[in-house]
């Protein structure tokens, strides 16, 4: 809806809801009804926001508490002796900067590959006619539907003894074991089978189908080749879809534990694996045996792990919600 | 020799294949081949050779027989996982539709609220859930943990059975009441599981042309009628999208997946784990087909 139409609608609303223009008692009743609806939706929204935010707030508060605060029943929401000591130790034990740097690099490169490959495939499905197109696009949907644990065992076997066309055997004498490296994840993503790639292909396909064909025709008349048109023109017009996929792919890659466990990727690269062992590390190395205090350290660690992804989301959130609305999830 | 020139449509056809080539190769290698192999594994006894590689020994339906006849927990876990998905599905769909309609209104701080509603998706990391669970176990441990869980499920100390009896006196069927109680107890799950669905419904609501509402208003439709005659039919196609997404998402985190994962990597029983995967996937696909077919019949397509 354009801004003009919106403002016109608002004006109509103002006029019709204004008691002066309506029968007085009826106007009163309708404005009361509106007030009740407004109040109701306010209560519901605030309540649900509380349900979502409460555990997060609790965790952040806990992470600032000192040992004495943890046992003081009078301390609620505001720590009496706030301290950064929990963060310091959690930071140190997770080797935070290095691990986080590696993890962000890993997730971000995968995100870029996802955007590149999935947009290409989505464009191919959206704009070209070729035999079996319907059937192949059905395969994309099948890919979305099939849970990844159905195919995990063969994939595990493949990468454990990685030997494409006998090349590895030819060069080194035996098949390569790619387990505990991030390479399998890269290979799968490059071939469009990474974490939820099917969904991204679907999003890009829907988005490109919605763009007017005239853009490409103009480019073609001006003498641009198909690949030039795609990279220089179409991809730049697809910013909303790109942002949607970027946010989804970054978040899901960062939070993914299934593939990182399957490929046994080192916990120096995937920080979310480190968080599961943080409490045990602190108990064993630092001899902090009080479970309640251990939990404070764990909370600090979780806040540290969550921080970059939340910042990433907050920065892109405005474009993201708009992007979803304009891009293809709704086709 | 004179080369035969390709026509434009043939050129475009080749280019189309080039664009989807990476995915096509990956799909064949990682999906088609893997599905065939998984099926093969489920009918075989697989032993890993120390040099790498594996031996397959055909055993027929033995693995299936073991899973359904002898395995201690498989049937139980399968039914509870699928039951949970089926119970959660309508709750999530209606909750997210309801919230999308609320969030679609104009009010102050709308962007903030939308951001908060998507937060569970951002923070949904199973690693963190595992870490918290571990620490809860370490703190409480054993019997006291069990009783804590029990009090949590009865919604914070409210005496649920009193209310159940109250409504039962009005001759309401007990199964309905139990479903309602379970639904209320699940509200936290439902809220955290419906972030993406709310966004999809919001987008769907935005795409309804405003002229439709104007017509409805001029024709004198009440808000109630407008919802059922305009809004609901228009978002109906997206209900299917959301059903598929919800089922897949919940299934990926269900206990069957954990069971099949553990059977592979802690018990090294590859054949059995393949059976678990195949059976659960087949059931989920069947459920999806039934539900989608059911909705599709009643769906109105605008375009």
The larger pLDDT score, comparing residue A58 to residue B171, is at: A58
pLDDT of B151: 43
Average pLDDT score, chain B: 81
| DSSP bridge partners of A162 | A176
pTM, entire model: 0.82
Q: H helices of chain B, where?
A: 8-26, 33-42, 62-65, 74-104, 110-123, 126-140, 142-153, 160-168, 174-185, 187-193, 195-206, 210-218, 223-226, 232-252, 255-265, 270-297
Please report which confidence band the pLDDT of residue A228 belongs to, taking 50, 70 and 90 as the band edges: confident
For residue B43, the SS3 value is coil
Query: Which of chain A's residues have a Cβ under 8 Å away from the Cβ of B285?
Result: 145
Give the β-pairing of B54-58 and B44-48: antiparallel
When comparing pLDDT for A237 and A101, which is higher?
Answer: A101
A107: helix, strand or coil: helix
Q: Please give the Cα distance from A35 to B113 (Å, whole number).
A: 20
Show Cβ contacts of residue A326 under 8 Å, excluding neighbours closer than 6 positions: A240
> Other C-beta atoms within 10 Å of A161: how many?
20
What distance in Å separates the CA atoms of residue A298 and residue A304, rounded to the nearest whole number? 10
Which percentage of chain A shows pLDDT scores above 90?
13
Residues with Cβ within 8 Å of residue B197, at least 6 apart in sequence: B92, B93, B96, B242, B245, B246
Which of A146, A124, A121, A130 lies closest to B31, judged by CA?
Answer: A146
Q: CB–CB of A193 and B31 under 8 A? A: yes
- Secondary structure of residue B54 in the 3-state scheme: strand
pLDDT band at B146 (very low <50, low <70, confident <90, very high): very low
Q: Min CA distance, B165 vs chain A (Å)?
A: 28
Question: Cβ A255–B125 below 8 Å, yes or no?
Answer: yes
Q: Which range is least confidently modeled, A108-112, A122-126, B122-126, B236-240? A: B122-126
CB spacing of A153 vs B29 below 8 angstroms: no
pLDDT of residue B110: 82
The DSSP annotation for A155-217 comes to: HHHHHHTB-GGGHHHHHHSS-B--TTSSHHHHHHHHTT-STTHHHHHHHHHHHHHHS-THHHH
Q: Looking at residue B1, what is its pLDDT?
A: 46
Task: With CB atoms and an 8 Å threshold, state whether A154 touches B99.
Answer: no
Closest CA to A160 of A139, A174, A145, A171: A174
Of B29, B135, B251, nearest to A147 by CB-CB distance is B251
Average pLDDT over residues B37-61: 81
Please state the rounded mean pLDDT for residues A46-51. Answer: 87
- Compute the Cα dihedral for A112, A115, A118, A124 and give only its sign: negative
CB atoms A51 and B187 under 8 Å: yes
pLDDT at A153: 86
Mean per-residue pLDDT, B188-198 = 85
- pLDDT at A106 > cutoff 90: yes
Q: H or E element: which one contains A101?
A: helix A96-127
Q: Which residues of A touch B258 (CB under 8 A)?
A: none
pLDDT of residue A27: 66
Please compute the mean of the pLDDT values over residues A130-148 and round it to a whole number: 88
Dist. CA B261–CA B265, nearest whole Å: 6
Chain A contact set for B261 (CB, 8 A)? 149, 152, 261
Q: What average pLDDT does range A43-55 have in this prediction?
A: 86
Burial of B182-206, coded b for 16+ CB within 10 Å and e otherwise, reads eeeebeeebbbbbbbbbbbbbbbbe
pLDDT band per the 50, 70, 90 thresholds, residue A327: low
Asked if pLDDT for residue B133 goes beyond 80, the answer is: no
Q: Which residues of A31-40 are buried (b: 16+ CB within 10 A; e: fewer)?
A: eeeeeeeeee
> CB distance B26–A191 less than 8 Å?
yes
Of A139, A255, A329, the CB nearest to B124: A255
| Cβ-defined contacts of A13-19 (< 8 Å, 24+) | none
In whole angstroms, give the CA distance from residue A77 to residue A60. Answer: 9
pLDDT at B260: 87
- Give the three-state DSSP class for A52: helix
Question: Which phi-psi region, left, alpha or beta, contains residue A96 (left: φ > 0; alpha: ψ -120 to 50)?
Answer: alpha
Angle between helices A133-145 and A197-210 (to 10 degrees): 140
Contact A301, A90 (CB under 8 A): yes
In this prediction, residue A1 carries a pLDDT of 45
| Exposed/middle/buried for residue B22 (C-beta within 10 Å: 0-12, 13-18, 19+) | buried
Higher pLDDT, A72 or A106: A106
Smallest CA-to-CA distance from A233 within A246, A243, A220 is with: A220
Residue A5: pLDDT band by 50, 70, 90 thresholds? low
Q: What is the mean pLDDT of residues B180-203?
A: 82
- For residue B31, what is the DSSP state? I
Model confidence at A329, in pLDDT bands (50, 70, 90)?
low
Of B38, B114, B244, Cβ closest to residue A321: B114
- Average pLDDT of span A146-154: 85
The predicted pLDDT at position A189 comes to 92
Q: Which helix (H) or strand (E) segment is B57 a member of?
A: strand B54-58
B207 C-beta neighbours (distance < 10 Å), count? 15
Split at pLDDT 50, 70, 90, the class of A54 is confident
Cα–Cα distance for residue pair A97/A95, rounded to 1 Å? 6
B12 vs A128: CB contact, 8 Å cut-off?
Answer: yes
Average pLDDT, chain A: 82
Kindly tell me the sign of the dihedral angle through the C-alpha atoms of B290, B291, B293, B298: positive
Kindly state the percentage of chain B with pLDDT values over 70: 86
Query: At residue B142, does pLDDT exceed 80?
Result: no
A259, pLDDT greater than 50: yes
Q: What is the pLDDT of residue A4?
A: 62
Residue A15 has pLDDT above 70, yes or no: no
- List CB contacts (< 8 A) between A51 and chain B: 187-188, 191
Q: Which residues of chain A does B267 touch, with a Cβ-Cβ cutoff of 8 Å?
A: none
- Where b means 16+ CB within 10 Å and e means fewer, B252-270 reads eebebbebbbebbbeeebb
By C-alpha distance, which of B219, B44, B31, B210 is closest to A10? B210
pLDDT of A166 > 80? The answer is: no
The Cα B24–Cα A136 span in angstroms is 8
Q: What confidence score (pLDDT) does residue B51 get? A: 66
Mean pLDDT over A282-297 rounds to 81
Please calculate the CA angle A184-A163-B264 and round it to the nearest 5 degrees.
Answer: 60
Q: Which of A231, A247, A305, A330 to mutate to test the interface with B (most CBs of B within 10 A)?
A: A330
Q: Residue B302: count other Cβ atoms within 10 Å of its Cβ.
A: 11
Contact A117 B22 (CB under 8 A): yes
What's the rounded mean pLDDT across residues A69-84? 80
Cα angle value A251/A193/B122 (rounded, 5°): 10
Task: Report yes or no: B200 and A321 within 8 Å, Cβ to Cβ.
Answer: no
How far is residue A172 from each of residues A16, A19, B136, B289, measured CA to CA in Å? 81, 86, 48, 48
User: Rounded to a whole number, what is the distance in Å from the CA of B161 to chain A's nearest CA?
Assistant: 24
CA angle A89, A94, A97 (to 5 degrees): 100
| In contact, A124 and B20? CB cutoff 8 Å | yes
Locate the DSSP E strands across chain A: none
The CA-atom distances, in angstroms, between A74 and each of A69, A85, A86, A100, A291 are: 8, 21, 21, 36, 20
- Give per-residue pLDDT as tens, B82-117: 988 888 899 999 999 999 988 888 888 888 888 888
Answer yes or no: is pLDDT of A312 > 60: yes
Looking at residue A7, its pLDDT comes to: 65
Given a contact cutoff of 8 angstroms between Cβ atoms, the answer to whether A123 and A226 are in contact is no
- CB under 8 Å to B291, separation ≥6 — which residues? B89, B243, B247
């Amino acid at each position: 809806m354009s801004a003009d139409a919106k403002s016109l609608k608002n004006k109509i609303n103002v006029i019709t809801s204004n008691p002066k223009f309506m029968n007085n008692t009826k106007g009163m009743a309708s404005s009361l009804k509106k007030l009740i609806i407004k109040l109701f939706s306010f209560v519901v929204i605030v309540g649900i926001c509380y349900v979502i935010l409460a555990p997060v707030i609790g965790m952040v508060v806990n992470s600032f508490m000192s040992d004495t605060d943890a046992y003081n029943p009078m301390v609620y929401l505001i720590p009496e002796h706030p301290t950064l000591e929990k963060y310091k130790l959690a930071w140190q034990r997770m080797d935070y900067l290095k691990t986080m740097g590696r993890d962000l690099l890993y997730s971000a490169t995968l995100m870029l590959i996802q955007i590149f490959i999935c947009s290409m495939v989505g464009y191919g499905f959206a704009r070209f006619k070729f035999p079996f197109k319907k059937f192949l696009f059905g395969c994309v949907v099948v890919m979305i539907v099939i849970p990844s644990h159905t195919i995990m065992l063969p994939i595990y076997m493949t990468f454990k003894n990685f030997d494409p066309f006998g090349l590895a055997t030819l060069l080194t004498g035996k098949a390569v074991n790619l387990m505990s490296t991030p390479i399998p994840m890269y290979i799968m993503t490059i071939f469009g089978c990474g974490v939820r790639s099917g969904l991204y292909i679907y999003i890009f396909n829907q988005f490109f189908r919605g763009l007017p064909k005239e853009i490409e025709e103009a480019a073609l008349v001006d003498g641009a080749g198909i690949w030039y048109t795609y990279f220089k023109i179409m991809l730049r017009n697809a910013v909303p879809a790109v942002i949607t996929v970027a946010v989804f792919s970054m978040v899901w890659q960062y939070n993914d534990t299934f593939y990182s466990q399957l490929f046994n990727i080192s916990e120096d690269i995937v920080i979310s694996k480190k968080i599961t062992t943080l409490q045990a590390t602190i108990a064993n190395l630092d001899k902090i045996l009080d479970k309640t205090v251990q939990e404070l350290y764990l909370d600090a660690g979780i806040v540290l792990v969550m921080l970059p992804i939340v910042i990433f989301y907050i920065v892109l959130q405005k474009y993201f919600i708009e992007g979803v609305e304009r891009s293809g999830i709704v086709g | 020799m004179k080369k035969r020139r390709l026509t434009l449509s043939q050129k475009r056809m080749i280019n189309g294949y080039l664009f989807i080539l990476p995915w096509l190769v990956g799909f064949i290698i990682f999906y088609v081949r893997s599905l065939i192999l998984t099926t093969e594994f489920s009918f075989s006894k697989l032993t890993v050779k120390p040099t790498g590689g594996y031996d397959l020994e055909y055993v027929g339906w033995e693995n299936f027989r073991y899973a359904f006849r002898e395995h201690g927990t498989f049937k139980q876990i399968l039914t509870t996982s699928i039951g949970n998905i089926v119970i959660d599905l309508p709750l999530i769909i209606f909750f997210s539709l309801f919230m999308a309609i609320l969030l679609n209104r104009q009010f102050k701080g709308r962007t903030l609220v939308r951001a908060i509603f998507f937060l569970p998706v951002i923070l949904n990391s199973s690693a963190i859930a595992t870490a918290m669970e571990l620490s809860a176990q370490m703190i409480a441990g054993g019997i006291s943990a069990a009783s804590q869980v029990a009090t949590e499920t009865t919604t914070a100390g409210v005496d649920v059975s009193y209310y159940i009896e109250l409504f039962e006196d009005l001759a309401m069927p007990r199964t309905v009441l139990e479903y309602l109680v379970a639904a209320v107890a699940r509200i936290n799950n439902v809220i955290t599981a419906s972030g993406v669905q709310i966004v999809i419904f919001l987008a769907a609501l935005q795409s309804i042309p405003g002229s439709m509402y104007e017509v409805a208003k001029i024709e004198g439709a009440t808000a109630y009628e407008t919802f059922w005659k305009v809004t609901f039919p228009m978002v109906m196609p997206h209900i299917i999208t959301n059903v598929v997404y919800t089922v897949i998402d919940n299934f990926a985190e269900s206990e069957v997946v954990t069971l099949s994962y553990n059977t592979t990597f802690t018990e090294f029983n590859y054949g059995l784990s393949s059976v678990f995967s195949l059976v659960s996937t087949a059931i989920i696909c069947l459920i999806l087909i039934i539900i989608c077919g059911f909705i599709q019949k009643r769906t109105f397509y605008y375009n």
